[in-house]
Structure formats: structure tokens, C-alpha cells
Amino acid sequence: MVIAPPPAQTASGVALLQPAHVGYMTLKHRVVLAPLTRMRADKAHVLHPIVKEYYSQQASIPGTFLIAEATLISHQAGGYAHVPGIWSNEQISRWKEITQAIHSKGSFVYLQLWAQGCTAAPRKHIQPELLRRLVDNVEPNFPYDFVSASDIPINPDDPQKPRPLTIDEIKEYYKWYATAAKNAVEGAGFDGVDIHGASGYLVDQFFQDMSNSRMDEYRGSVENRARFGLEVVDAVLKAVGPEKTAIRINIKENLPDGEDNDFIREIWTQEGNSRWLISAGGYSRDIAIQTVEQKGGLVAFGRAFLANANILLVTTSSDSSPTKLHITARPSDPVRAKHSAQ
Ligand SMILES: Cc1cc2nc3c(=O)[nH]c(=O)nc-3n(C[C@H](O)[C@H](O)[C@H](O)COP(=O)(O)O)c2cc1C
């Protein structure tokens, strides 16, 4: 997940709990809510009213940066039921109530822009247990084609192959991304947007050679496979500006001892630019503190934040600056151990 880091500053206390100026936002600390799909939207992909309460809780420490759940840029880009969208007036109005609630707490929020590609395809060859769960999630009577970078399904046994997007359709996606970004920022009041370029969804389907076997300028070299994602970034940048644009990408997971993903920090922060990098995935309290102390940036928490909402940061000072960090959960889970900093 990318937006940038000057080196961690440790003037006093824990760098993770120091303020940061990210785009137009002044964050009071560097703990971020990672985007978390909750499947709480109705048939028209409008979030249920209860979601406002949920995000208010996550925003309850002033100066917190939230990244709201993956949200469909258009109906055609979807295929899951119960996930939110950002193309209709009703969807935008509901999101606006939510951003207003977050801002009223003094916190900030980006919306994650999502196109599913072939992850939306119904699977017919899977275990009945899993099928039941997926059928609940797959939008009944989805009226559009299942599409991807090419005709490779997620599961090789899947009888239904996605259809590769044509060049004209790719260009249409850029327009949807741009409109969705404008709807989010100008319509719904988000502080910015985060393009979902990870987890095997459409942008990632172009990135990865195992899902991209196209025959045109979008396949082959790294530059070609990155083309779709970069052109999406361009479209969104033009729509809402660079200070309000972020992209989430996956790098390597489960690295062997001695290897790390720090090359991405070096690439991203070279030439003294002022971009921020948010890292996420399996952070414990101690590793998050150590990472920001030594390497700068911000750290996003998913499950631990979800489980703790307004107790993630416990404020004690009069101006509500966080002075304590609590992450509480099952001791067996390395992500979650009961801690109290300072
Ligand atoms: C229930 C759930 C929903 C998620 N939904 C999204 C999502 O909408 N977009 C996204 O980029 N990542 C999503 N993720 C991944 C999280 O953002 C995060 O990277 C992951 O939980 C690892 O961080 P953690 O170890 O702190 O939980 C989801 C994870 C979970 C557990």
C-alpha cells in the first residue's frame, strides 16, 4: 500500500505515535486502519446505515487514518453481493454520511477503489461447503460478462473462463476509475482514494504473469504487465490529484530468512521525494514500533484494529494525542498479544 516516508523521527517517544503529514492530512499517529471488506451493503450496493457507527468507532481517536473497505467502481466491475459501490447517488450519499461521521471525530479516510475481474466468476467445481459460502457472496443474476486480463480462471478446473478485456473496455475501466475517484472525493467527501492493486483482483490480474497471457502491449515484460495499473493511477491522479491518490500492491510473502521487501521502500522513497509508504500484513505491536522507528512510514493493522476499534489507541493526554497503544487478542496469534506501550 503506497502513499511515503521521510525517515522516522524519534524526537520524543515512540515514532509510531508521532504525527505525520500525508497529502493534505495531518495525522496524529502512524497507525492506520487497513481496508477490510465487511459485506454490509444491500442489493443496490448501498451500505446499510449501521456502517456509519462502525466507521465512527474506528475513527474515535482524533487524527487516525482509515482506509475504507474495497468498493466497486462500477456495477460491471463487480460480481459479489453485499459489497459497496460508488457509482450511484444513493451509494455516494450513504458514504457521505460516513465520511462526515469520521471527520466529526477529527479523523481521515480514503476509499479503496475496486474492480474484481475474474474473482467474481461462479465456481462450479468446488466443495459444497465452500460453494455455499461463495454462492452467498456471488451476486445472483449478475448481468455482465466475467472478465479479466486474459482467459485464465482463478481455479484451473473452473468450467467458466473469464473473457479478456478488449482495449476499448480497458479504456472504459480508466473512465470508471476516474469517475469513482471523483465521486469519492468530490461527492462523498473522502480525503483520497486507494486503488486496489493487490490480492488477485483486476489490477493484479494484469500484473501477474500467471493470470496475464494477453497478446498485446499489456502482457510480457514487467513494464507491459504494469501498464494497466499505471494507467489506472494516471486516470485517478488526473481526477483527484496526486496528494489524494494511493495504490495498494502485494509484494512477496513468506520470505525465507535473510530476505526482505525493503527494496520497495528504496524505490518508492528515492530522490528525496515526499511519498509515504504504508506497510501492512501480520504486524505485531513490537514489529510495528520497530519498523517505523527504523524505516519510517506508517503501518496498517487489519484484524487487530477490527477486534479493538476504539481501544487500539488509548488517549490520556488533554489534546487527545495517543500516548498508549493496546493490541489485545488471542495469545496464540502472533499478530495479537496483549501489550501496553509506555
Ligand atoms: C475480513 C477481511 C477483509 C479484508 N478486506 C480487504 C479489502 O477490502 N481490501 C484490501 O486491500 N485488503 C483487505 N483485507 C486485507 C487487510 O487489509 C490486511 O492486509 C490483512 O488483514 C493483514 O493485516 P493484519 O495481519 O493486520 O490483519 C482484508 C482482510 C480481512 C481479514
Of the candidates 173, 201, 218, 283, the residue annotated as catalytic is 201
CATH number of the domain encompassing residue 153: 3.20.20.70
Q: How far is the CA of 190 from the centre of ligand 1 (A)?
A: 20
Residue 29: inside a domain, yes or no?
A: no
Q: Is the CB of 198 under 6 A from ligand 1?
A: yes
**Residues 309 and 326: beta-carbon distance below 8 Å:** no
Per DSSP, the residues of 5-68 read -PPP--SSS-GGGS-EEETTEEESSSEEEPP-----B-TTSPBPTHHHHHHHHHT-STT-EEEE
pLDDT for the residue 224: 96
pLDDT at 124: 57
Tell me if 308 CB under 6 Å of ligand 1.
no
The answer to whether residue 312 is domain-embedded is no
| 201 is an active site residue | yes
In tens digits, the chain (342 residues) has pLDDT values of 444 444 444 444 689 999 999 999 999 999 999 999 999 999 999 999 999 999 999 999 999 999 999 999 999 999 999 999 999 999 999 999 999 999 999 999 999 999 999 988 665 555 666 666 666 788 888 889 999 999 998 887 777 889 999 999 999 999 999 999 999 999 999 999 999 999 999 999 999 999 999 999 999 999 999 999 999 999 999 999 999 999 999 887 777 888 888 888 888 877 666 789 999 988 888 899 999 999 999 999 999 898 876 545 443 333 444 444 444 333 333 333 233 222
Q: Which of 178, 168, 169 is nearest to 232 (CA)?
A: 178
In a domain, 59, yes or no: yes
If one counts every other C-beta atom within 10 angstroms of the C-beta of residue 327, the result is: 25
**285 Cβ below 6 A of ligand 1:** no
Q: What is residue 308's predicted lDDT score, i.e. its pLDDT?
A: 79
Asked whether 248 lines ligand 1 (CB < 6 A), one says yes
Number of domains in the chain: 1
Cell of 159: 468450467
Name the burial class of residue 271, with classes exposed (0-12), middle (13-18) and buried (19+) by CB atoms within 10 angstroms of its CB: exposed
- In the chain, the amino acid numbered 37 is T
Q: Give the residue whose CA is nearest to atom 22 of ligand 1.
A: 281
100 domain-assigned: yes
**pLDDT for 336:** 31
Tell whether 73 is covered by a domain. Answer: yes
Instruction: Locate 247 and state its grid cell.
Output: 495504490
The answer to whether 162 and 77 have CB atoms below 8 angstroms apart is: no
pLDDT of res. 129: 64
Query: Would residue 69 count as lying in a domain?
Result: yes
- Considering the domain boundaries, does residue 4 fall inside one? no
263 in a domain, yes or no? Answer: no
Residue 96: exposure state from Cβ atoms within 10 A (0-12, 13-18, ≥19): middle
Domain extent, residue 238, equals 34-250
3-state helix, strand, coil in the chain (%, to 5): 35, 20, 45
What is the best residue among 54, 279, 303 to mutate for testing ligand 1's pocket, by most ligand atoms within 8 Å of CB?
Answer: 303
Q: What is the pLDDT of residue 126?
A: 58
